[in-house]
Amino acid sequence: MDRFEAADVLAAELARAVPGAVSVAGIADLQGAQLSAAGRIDALVAVQRARCWLEAVQIGMLAGLKEQPLACIPGHPDALGDFLETQEQVACALRVAPDTARARLVEAQQLTARFPAAVGLLAAGRVQIMHLKALLEHTAALADEAAARVEGLVLAKLPTQTVGAARKAITRAVLKADPAGAEQRHTRAAQDRRTTLQAHPDGMAWYGALLTAGDAALVDAAVTAHARTLASDGRTLPQRCADALVELVSGTGTTAPAPTVIVTVPYDTLIGTAEHPADLHGHGPITAGQARALASRPGSVWHRLLTHPTSGQILKTDPTTYRPTAEVTRHVTTRDPHCRFPGCTRPSRRCDLDHVTPFNHANPHTGGPTTPDNLIPLCRRHHLTKHRAGWHIGYNNRTGHVTWTAPTGHTYTDQPAHAL
């Protein structure tokens, strides 16, 4: 057995084990051990899962203080006084501000009451605390019954999603669980739209706006389209976008090209016979009413994209060519809104469309075709990663899953971002 093998075996076992007191003790045994690259990754996974278990243990303890609060005056029940006493003692013990202690007590009570199954996933090390915080945040306005429906809709996939992907899935589930309420909340929120101007050091300032998601996408598309018409002359695209915004608002620039905003919406929602959520590219799920409003804007163009009724995968394909046609590009970027490296959120419109099976320039008929089934968006960074030694990629065009194998032998799967 070489100098790495024993420690590597222990790290791999701990990475797979259900986290608990035994696994925490095992992790302590890894301190100072010599691990290979693969072993160090396994050790990190084991530590992460153990941290999740400890988070769940603490949530249970904090929630338990509701039923057994720390008495303000022993022998004299006082609900408010007892809660304040509990809050102050927790704040002192954990060395946090009293308001922070109160927030953690309330959060723990809500999590255990509303999302017991999700807390169970945390205890098993299968999700992170930020997944649960996202559930709380996005369901704060929902009744307990609707919140439970949201948990049921997202629970199965939560362990396979990054926190960012989970937030979008939870948002979509909220729209499905409470479509009428979602429309009402959006209407109220839209009344708060405004612009902001804030001073910044070195003679600079921040200028921003709180807009509806559709209007924000339209503004961003218009600014980006105009920026691409400007000569680079040493300016980066973000710099040109800033300059384009000034030109468009002040009227000092040339006529800008028409912006493109992509919304994927079920047909029955589009015609008003259903209230399923739609997907605004670059933003995420939006309400049915928002989607219909965007579709009815002057100049809107509709494109039909057929999807699988169960998986949501787009099915329509185009003929093989070397460079993707506009139709193929639209197909791939609609199907995959972002780079397909796990956790990367770079918009697909700013990515390369990469051939999973390489295109054969010498004999195109024997290589990978330029069709949606063989194309995925990869940002330039992860496009280069794919071609580095030791990395391998697999694409299942039936399910849409992209599996990456790292040089250490670990595999990571990026799931498709279903629009519907």
Domain ranges of the chain: 5-186, 194-302, 326-414
Query: pLDDT tens digits for 50-99?
Result: 999 999 999 999 999 888 877 665 665 666 677 788 889 999 999 999 99
The two structure tokens encoding residue 408: 């250490």
The whole model's pTM is what?
0.78
Strands across the sheet containing 278-280: 263-264, 278-280, 284-286
Sequential pLDDT tens for the chain (420 residues):
455 688 999 999 999 999 999 999 999 888 878 899 999 999 999 999 999 999 999 999 999 988 887 766 566 566 667 778 888 999 999 999 999 999 999 999 999 999 999 999 999 999 999 999 999 999 999 999 999 999 999 999 999 999 989 999 999 999 999 999 999 999 999 999 999 999 999 999 999 999 999 999 999 989 988 998 998 889 998 999 999 999 999 888 777 677 777 888 887 888 788 888 888 887 888 898 988 888 887 777 776 665 655 555 655 544 445 578 777 888 898 889 899 999 898 888 889 999 998 888 777 777 888 888 899 999 999 999 998 889 999 999 888 999 999 999 999 999 887 643
